[in-house]
DNA sequence: CCATAAACGAGACGGTACGTCTAGTCTTAAG
DNA sequence: CTTAAGACTAGACGTACCGTCTCGTTTATGG
């Protein structure tokens, strides 16, 4: 155990010397380009050219086009700083969920988020490695907030304590994702409200 | 009275002279290849080579790789002949839905359906034209069956007559799609049952 | 030796039922197209389309694009009806040759003849089969006229009886062809005269 | 004072970074392939494959297949190093010309030179741009040697001082080219001698 | 005067090569 | 050593033609 630098086949580059300027330029270029031309036409070459960066600089730090996009999307999310926030808890579960779900609908309908998140979703459907990254870094932290809010409701007696919070959350999030991804019908506040109401009340008559 | 045949600059080929043999070979080759190598490596050239067909024969009849795949998938579905069937109606809505949803889970977990349907879903997320075709030809006919079954349940007094059947259906299908597409957690019969139960009972305690 | 119809692998079609209309249209179309777009862009499909003819009608009667062109060129030549004529014999060899050679220069410089004959020459350089046809049907009959005129001159004592008429003719025709084919310098009447004069007089001082 | 570097829309690549290895491989592959299969079957793809080179590397540096061939042919000529040499001057014009012309005949009859030079000649006949390049880089330097030798002969009193050396040269070279290109009759030393003799002596009896 | 067999127009077919585009790797010069 | 720049090998793209192979439709005798 003498060698202090155990040479891997591909010795990863020295992160301390990485150019922050280039990193920013690449992420910005990726977001700009996907907004302009769509995912199909987003190429590494175009990103490099737009960012004023050598292609190798991208290949050095990211394993794929989708990975660049994921980082770009995370950076976009951090701007909006909605990562750490907790879901509201006013005591009214239905109202709180509707508020959050309406905000999500607005985000999904905003062009700024739509293009990159669609691209990531599409890539994730077909690329398990990226999918794992995407869910871990973006999706699950969001879903965890729902779990906590539902659990609080259960403790407060506003929700059936036997229900699995994870399933409950997916009962709300799943339909929204379905409409958004497959564009079956428009994704509106009214629909968001209807989903929340029905998920809380259930289909069986009371 | 506008002409019903607005002549395009590229006159479409004569469908009556189309080679059924080639059509079959192309669809089969597409399904085989996507099962073997995934969507990313599925190329028109590979399909043509595998099918023993000139590339132009593909370009003549399909506008894109995704369109070939959609046709191949539809053909696959017609094999299984699940297009025209009605959902079972034993009088027990929960049991009927669980049976159907479990079958869907099995289908989504089978390799034969997984690869092509993932590819189509991914492409649809990012390609509105294909998405419209996909939903119209594949998705909506399936969803319509749910609508009818739920409506029957409402008429039989087993389901809340005020609930929108469309929303109710999405409450069940959405979560399955979500887990399948984004692989957040395994897609099992148990999960399918849990979704149906919760969707019927609702999260609010009774 | 009983069979009166020894079936070849490719039984050639019945010439008596050939459509003269189509034949004319094809030759005309070939000449028109080569004049418009050059040999590089002359395609069988374009000829067929322009002539309003099926491709098979061309393939039935000609073995190659170049063969069509050769026939078209021969037809063009027969229009001009210079095939059977004899070279003039006024008793003045130099004057007679200059007259003929000037006429040839004019022909080579006329756009109507230039494009197709260039194409045939180019193809001949690289395609021995066509070359044999071309020389037999077009070139040699012309050259033979020179041989006869020179031989007459030798008999009349106007030309060295020891000289080979064939070599003599090529001394005149070769330089013209050289300039025309390789465009080294302009092909003029003055040049034609100079070639004839020098070929008759010789380079050695008298 | 107009700019001397009028920026083209397609900025030409950086010549200093060109791979000499690839260039050589391409030229060699082109010569090999044309010798094996003829010009008709010489394709850019075949050259690239044989040379172990990407197609783009050919398209980057040459505008057309013919341009590759021209460079390959020039390289072949430079091997033989016959570019800078002067024609021999032993004082006997006839003997000197015959020696040179016989050597040319041998070259034209050698398979190594025949295929590529035929291809270039054929292409030149039909492609003025290539023709200009071909004559400038290959043909004219050769012809200029004849002009100088003939002029020397005129100064030495061995050739008619009134004759135009350019015409005289073409009187010799033209017939050789004619026989070679159109294969009317075999191209032999005897024919070469006969042409030189007749060109010097003239057809008119002395 | 039809019957029939060919040549015909049209164009789909299996292929080959085109010239372009992008991927991902490698090389160079500057810092 | 990282960077911008970009040449490199590799190979898919979508297009254009090739030469072959059906399709009906003329058309032109010959039974």
Mean of pLDDT values over D60-74: 97
The residue lying closest to nucleotide F18, measuring its CA against C1', is C44
Whether residues D203 and C200 touch (CB distance < 8 A) is answered with yes
State pLDDT tens for residues C133-157: 999 999 999 999 999 999 999 999 9
Nearest nt by C1' to A59 Cα: E24
Enter the tokens of residue A9: 């086949």
Q: Is the pLDDT of residue C54 over 50?
A: yes
Share of chain C above pLDDT 90, in %: 86
pLDDT of B10? 66
CATH class of C82-201: mainly alpha
Q: Is the pLDDT of residue D2 over 50?
A: no
Report which of residues C63 and D6 the model is more confident about: C63
> Closest Cα to residue C187, out of D170, B72, B76, A101?
D170
| Distance in angstroms (rounded) separating the CA atoms of residues C164 and B141 | 91
Enter the tokens of residue A174: 């799943």
pLDDT of C108? 96
Mean of pLDDT values over B57-71: 97
D41 sits within 7 Å of strand F by its CB: no
pLDDT of A3? 43
Given pLDDT bands bounded at 50, 70 and 90, which one contains residue A6? Answer: very low
Give residue C33's Cα distance to chain centre. Answer: 19
State pLDDT tens for residues B15-57: 999 999 999 999 999 999 999 999 989 999 999 999 999 999 9
Instruction: Find the Å distance, CA of residue D57 to C1' of nucleotide E29.
Output: 22
Instruction: Find the Å distance, CA of residue D58 to C1' of nucleotide E20.
Output: 13
Which residue in chain D has the smallest CA separation from C141? Answer: D184
- Could you tell me if B101 and B176 are in contact, meaning their C-beta atoms sit under 8 angstroms apart? yes
Q: Is the pLDDT of residue B80 over 90?
A: no
pLDDT of C81? 64
| Distance in angstroms (rounded) separating the CA atoms of residues A27 and A77 | 13
Share of chain B above pLDDT 70, in %: 93
Residues 41-80 of chain A in contact with strand F via CB under 7 angstroms: 52-57, 60-61
pLDDT of A48? 97
pLDDT of C4? 41
Share of chain D above pLDDT 70, in %: 93
Least confident span in A35-44, A96-105, C50-59, D80-89: D80-89
pLDDT of A8? 44
Mean of pLDDT values over C12-21: 90
pLDDT of A206? 76
Residue-wise over A144-177: b if at least 16 C-beta within 10 A, else e?
Answer: ebbbebbebbbeeebbbeebbbbbbbbbbbbbbb
| Distance in angstroms (rounded) separating the CA atoms of residues B139 and B132 | 10
State the alpha helices, DSSP H only, in chain C: 20-37, 44-51, 55-61, 65-80, 93-109, 111-126, 128-134, 140-155, 165-182, 189-201
Q: Is the pLDDT of residue C43 over 80?
A: yes
Q: Strands (DSSP E) along chain B, which ranges?
A: none
Q: Is the pLDDT of residue D20 over 70?
A: yes
pLDDT of C10? 55
| Distance in angstroms (rounded) separating the CA atoms of residues A97 and A76 | 24
From the candidates C105, C202, C206, which should be mutated to test the interface with D, based on the most D CB atoms within 10 A?
Answer: C202
State pLDDT tens for residues A103-147: 999 999 999 899 999 999 999 999 999 999 999 999 999 999 999
C-alpha dihedral, D68 to D73 to D76 to D82, nearest 10°: -140
pLDDT of D120? 97
pLDDT of A5? 43
Q: Is the pLDDT of residue C202 over 60?
A: yes
pLDDT of A9? 47
A69 touches chain B (CB under 8 A): no
Contacts of B199 (CB under 8 A, 6+ apart): A171, A198, A199, A202, A203, B168, B171, B172
| Distance in angstroms (rounded) separating the CA atoms of residues A155 and B34 | 48
pTM equals 0.91
| Distance in angstroms (rounded) separating the CA atoms of residues C47 and C54 | 10
Phi, then psi, of D145 in degrees rounded to 5: -65, -40
State pLDDT tens for residues C79-98: 776 556 899 999 999 999 99
pLDDT of B159? 96
pLDDT of D31? 97
State pLDDT tens for residues A14-28: 778 888 999 999 999
Tell me which long-range contacts D53-56 makes (C-beta under 8 A, separation of at least 24).
D53/D22, D53/D25, D53/D26, D53/D29
Given pLDDT bands bounded at 50, 70 and 90, which one contains residue D159? Answer: very high
pLDDT of B85? 80
Residues 41-80 of chain B in contact with strand E via CB under 7 angstroms: 52-57, 60-61
Q: Do chains C and D touch (3 or more CB pairs under 8 A)?
A: yes
Nearest nt by C1' to D59 Cα: E19
Q: Is the pLDDT of residue C2 over 50?
A: no
CATH code at C11-64: 1.10.10.60
pLDDT of B206? 76
- Measured between CA atoms, how close is B148 to chain A, in angstroms? 15
Q: Which chains touch B (3 or more CB pairs under 8 A)?
A: A
Chain C positions touching D185 (Cβ under 8 A) are: 166
D114 touches chain C (CB under 8 A): no
Q: Is the pLDDT of residue A187 over 90?
A: yes
pLDDT of D80? 73
Instruction: Find the Å distance, CA of residue D18 to C1' of nucleotide E29.
Output: 15
What average pLDDT is seen over chain C?
92
Mean of pLDDT values over D173-191: 98
The domains of chain D are located at 11-64, 82-201
| Distance in angstroms (rounded) separating the CA atoms of residues A29 and C15 | 69
Mean of pLDDT values over B54-68: 97
pLDDT of A54? 96
Q: Is the pLDDT of residue D6 over 50?
A: no
| Distance in angstroms (rounded) separating the CA atoms of residues D100 and D92 | 12
pLDDT of A85? 79
């Amino acid at each position: 155990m003498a060698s202090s630098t155990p040479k891997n086949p591909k010795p990863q580059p020295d992160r301390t010397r990485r150019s922050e300027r280039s990193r920013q330029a690449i992420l910005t270029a990726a977001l700009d380009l996907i907004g302009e031309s769509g995912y199909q036409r987003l190429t590494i070459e175009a990103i490099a050219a737009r960012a004023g960066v050598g292609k190798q600089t991208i290949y050095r730090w990211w394993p794929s086009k989708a990975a660049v996009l994921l980082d770009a999307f995370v950076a976009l999310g951090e701007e909006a700083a909605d990562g750490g926030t907790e879901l509201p808890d006013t005591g009214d579960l239905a109202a709180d969920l509707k508020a959050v779900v309406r905000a999500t609908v607005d985000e999904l309908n905003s062009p700024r988020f739509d293009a990159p998140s669609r691209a990531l979703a599409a890539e994730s459907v077909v690329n398990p490695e990226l999918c794992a990254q995407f869910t871990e870094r973006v999706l699950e932290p969001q879903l965890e907030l729902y779990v906590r809010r539902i659990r609080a409701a259960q403790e407060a007696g506003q929700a059936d304590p036997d229900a699995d919070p994870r399933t409950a959350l997916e009962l709300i999030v799943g339909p929204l994702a379905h409409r958004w991804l497959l564009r079956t019908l428009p994704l509106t506040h009214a629909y968001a409200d209807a989903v929340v109401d029905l998920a809380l009340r259930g289909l069986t008559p009371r």
